[in-house]
Chains A and B, each alone.
Chain A
Amino acid sequence: MSTAPPAAPPRRTRRRRRDWTGLVFVTPFLAVFTIGIVAPLVYASGLSLFRDQLIGGRSFVGLGNYADALTDARFLEGLSRVALFLGVQVPIMIGLALLAALILDSGRVRAMRFMRIGIFMPYAVPSVVAALMWGFMYGDQFGLVAQLNEATGLALPSPLSSTWVLAAIGNVVTWEFVGYNMLILYAALRAVPEELYEAAAIDGAGEVRVALSIKIPALRPALWVATLFSIIGSFQLFNEPNVLQSLAPAAISTYFTPNMYAYQLAFNANQVTYSAAVAVLLGGITVVVAYVAQRLTERGNRR
């Protein structure tokens, strides 16, 4: 990959004069990075330290908003809901993606290109459209579930009922991203050196053994990347429940997920500074969970 051996001194290649040219090239990125990421986070964090009162205007309350959020039943309900979602949906999705990638890599199915593109295709569908489409299929307007019940006399529960709506959302998210994760894993599998397989063949390892002893260990970094992004996505869940809300108003509350709650606070309840605190806190929790997950996998890898 890189031109330098790992233990190289800092001057790795011949053409590395320390000058300002590189900085000029990076400047446009640093500019948009500052406006688009750094400034909003700094401003929102600052804003979250204040509180708007009807009388007396904006006053400094330090970490008061954060203390409120951590004891706010609605925020905690949303947080536990996305945690549950993460615990169930992420393993299912990554598991399916892994299975599909291993099957593709085994070279034992036909029409591989079609399969690969077909499973990836939902990634090109905006999450709003995905949620609308599935929402109609779930729904009793002209939904498939209702039609199936009518045709077969079964009594399948409505996916948009309070009991099932989280699973229904999990299905939409899985549908959207399973192919994307499959391709990340598949790309990593293609990079496994051929010699390993030759050696395994000489040792008489079967296909299952090769999958368990060569492929899955080789996939560790890619699996980790896929899982990390899925964890982050789960905490930030917003689009799908927000779109499905009009179809299932009774099942999806305005504080169904932490992000929906932050949205509700900022735009309907007019509690802007508290909303900023909820958004910053959620970002912080996401980073901490991702970091802890990374440390755990590193420990696992060092064994």
Chain B
Amino acid sequence: MSATTEPRRTPAADTAPPRGGDRPPAPARTRRRRSRRRTSVLLQAAMALMVLYTLLPLYWLAVNSTKTNGELFTSNGLWFGSEFALWDNIVTTVTYQDGIYLTWLFNTALYSITGAVGATLICALGGYALAKFDFPGKRAVRAVVFGAITIPATALAIPTFLLFAELGITDTRMAIIIPALVSPFGLYLMTVYAADSVPDSLLEAARIDGAGPWTTFWRVAFRLLAPGVATVLLFNLVHTWNNYFLPLIMLSDPTLYPLTVGLNQLNSQVTTGANLEPVYNVVLTGSLLAIVPLIVCFLFLQRYWQSGLAAGSVKQ
């Protein structure tokens, strides 16, 4: 690729440090920042195109959530309508069918937070043990669990449903939360992280001071594991928040639905005309409201997922 370079120095203002009190979100790097080079117009344009591609649909969703149902069909899809109806749409969305949307939002939050916090604690305990202890059967545990990383959640949905149907626990909140507690990839990340960030000498010192294994874990190791814990928490949160196949087959009671299942059901009713009022504005605004919390989470927790990705992508 030949890069046409622009014979111009980058102004220093470009690399100005962020606002005071904001630490740059740099994960630990094994490499010094390379000195800034001249900007390449070609590369800059390629990057701009990519960003346009990824952000345009989100822009489209935001813009069209501000339109009334009628204007959706009559106005330009890439620009605002004559009325700014976002607030009305939000009110319509959260009051629609006696506030079913808020029930779905609550369920999604409940499943995601319970599942992610539980899964993360379970992975932290397990990863710490796999990295720092020797116990009978350890190698077998490692082999089986790390082998399970490649089993996709989707492949487990129907088998899990069949088992839970046999046990009689389908259509309950537990049917969604229990599968959300299992995260082989989280265990792998925590094992890698614990091996790197918890020094043996520190554990030895705690032992000599008379701390039992539990005290040592909570008081010493857990704090050192915090960045890894945040990463696993975030990824599990996203995974459960976005989960669709499992709740789709597990739940038949609409008051237990998460947002994904609820929104899709609403959309198919509207699209196929099963619903008498074509509430496209509710589907669009509901979709927008469903992604805002996660985007905010990602923006605030950048440091964690970026360093977490780095740990996960380097195969040991």
Give A residues with C-beta under 8 Å from B.
Answer: 1-3, 13-26, 28-30, 32-33, 35-37, 39-41, 43-44, 47, 96, 99-100, 103-104, 106-110, 113-115, 117-130, 132-134, 136-137, 141-144, 147, 175, 178-179, 183-185, 187-188, 190-194, 197, 207-208, 221-222, 224-226, 228, 232-233, 236, 238-239, 242-243, 245-247, 249, 259, 262-263, 266-267, 272, 275-276, 279-280, 282-283, 286-287, 290
Contact = CB atoms under 8 A, between A and B. Distances in A.
Contacts of B78: 144
Interface of B is mostly: helix
Contacts of B25: 113
Contacts of B19: none
A106 B43 contact: yes
A118 B55 contact: yes
Contacts of B227: none
B39 interface: yes
B283 interface: yes
A259 B159 CA distance: 12
B226 interface: no
Contacts of B64: 136, 142
A107 B154 contact: no
A137 B260 CA distance: 19
A246 B267 contact: yes
B60 A125 contact: no
Contact of A1 (B1, B60, B72, B196): B196
B262 to A, nearest CB: 10
How many interface residues does chain B have, given as a range?
35 or more
A280 B163 CA distance: 14
B30 interface: yes
B223 interface: no
B254 interface: no
A193 B162 contact: no
Interface in B129-157: 129-130, 132-138, 141, 145, 148, 150-152, 154-156
Contacts of B88: none
Nearest to B185: A229
B150 A287 contact: yes
A115 B159 contact: no
Contacts of B290: 126, 129
Contact of B136 (A23, A39, A99, A283): A23
Given A44-B163, A109-B40, A272-B162, A18 B136 contact: yes
Given A26-B130, A122-B54, 19 more contacts: A24-B129, A25-B133, A28-B126, A29-B126, A36-B182, A43-B159, A44-B162, A47-B162, A103-B43, A121-B298, A142-B77, A184-B309, A188-B314, A192-B31, A225-B313, A225-B315, A236-B155, A242-B264, A243-B267
